[in-house]
Amino acid sequence: MVFFIFMDATIIAFKDYLQKEKNYSIHTLMAYEADLLNFKVFNCMNFEQDSIDLVNYSQIRSWIVSLVEEGLSVITVNRKTASLKAFYRFLLKTKQIEVSPMLKHKSLKVPKTLQIPFSEKEMNAVLEGMEVGTGFEGIRDYTIVELFYATGMRRAELIQLKCVDVDLLNNTLKVLGKRNKERLVPILPAVKESLERYKQERMCLGEVVEGDYFFLTKKGEKLNNSLVYRLINSYFSQASEKVKKSPHVLRHTFATHLLNNGADLNSVKELLGHSSLASTQVYTHSSLSELQKVYQKSHPRNKEQF
């Protein structure tokens, strides 16, 4: 049986609300739309119900079970159900429903995973091994690695960084974070040198297709997610045996190294662009581990023999 799935007027209105009222990015809007359409297809196939406005929670629970049986991670399932929750909140807000079917829903419990940051030794090994690089791509790659480590930027933030956002005169970067929230990040002297060197190489590119963006391919095009991921994974595979080697691990490394060297949690929160300290506290486990080592080494009671 073939189902032709059309976009509900309510889904279109919901997307319009998220874009205009909440200022969500295009990527977030696409994710919400995909989740809602996925749920709509499920309801068509299993309950012969084309509209998702007036479903009940048993239908939603069946969908969640199917997602888990497909092998999707708990985080992915929770993200999809969060899309539904937001959709029904919108229907409540616009008085299209009186009670949300997600009212009593609880997110699936996420198993705790330990994010292991790169050590300072590994970071130095990568940067020294790159030797600032030669040619456009070598210099660009070195600058990207150094910028990730020095600022804790997200991958999307680095990709979206524009030439006008890089203020080398005042040593700041204007970073556009989640939900289009802007923040200023200071530029360290060593990073400034790398940025200036890259700018010189960038000026020597031939045809530039997307010139507004600061980091480009050698063809003058804007970087993409997979290219940046491969770049980080490739360089760090030569210096680290850690399983996960990604831009997000570099963000984690930035926060952990700052905290280990005495930075206060609130300052790290501002640099990372988090809206609350709760988000930043994810990065404190390594700092606590470092503190524990110092504590055990220094406390008189630990020196006593029992």
Nearest CA to 35 among 94, 77, 71?
A: 77
| 304 contact partners, CB below 8 Å, separation of at least 6 | none
User: Is beta strand 166-167 parallel, antiparallel or unpaired with respect to 172-176?
Assistant: antiparallel
251 is catalytic: yes
178 is catalytic: yes
Of 32, 198, 235, 283, catalytic: 283
| Both tokens assigned to 39 | 């749920």
299 is catalytic: no
Of 174, 178, 183, 192, catalytic: 178
| 65 contact partners, CB below 8 Å, separation of at least 6 | none
Long-range CB pairs of 240-248, under 8 A, 24+ apart, other chains included? 240/118, 240/122, 240/126, 242/116, 242/118, 242/122, 244/115, 244/116, 247/148, 247/154, 247/155, 247/158, 248/154, 248/155
How many Cα atoms sit within 13 Å of 47 on the Cβ side? 19
Of 202, 251, 252, 257, catalytic: 251
Question: Is 185:158 a contact under the CB 8 Å cutoff?
Answer: no
Of 85, 140, 154, 257, catalytic: 154
Q: How many CB atoms are located within 10 Å of the residue 15 CB?
A: 19
- The string of DSSP codes covering 228-268 is HHHHHHHHHHTT---S--SHHHHHHHHHHHHHHTT--HHHH
- Residue 61 corresponds to which amino acid? R
Of 89, 174, 197, 248, catalytic: 248
What is the distance between the alpha carbons of residues 251 and 234, in angstroms, rounded to a whole number? 17
Of 15, 85, 140, 274, catalytic: 274
| Both tokens assigned to 179 | 């939900």
User: Which residues are annotated as catalytic?
Assistant: 154, 178, 248, 251, 274, 283
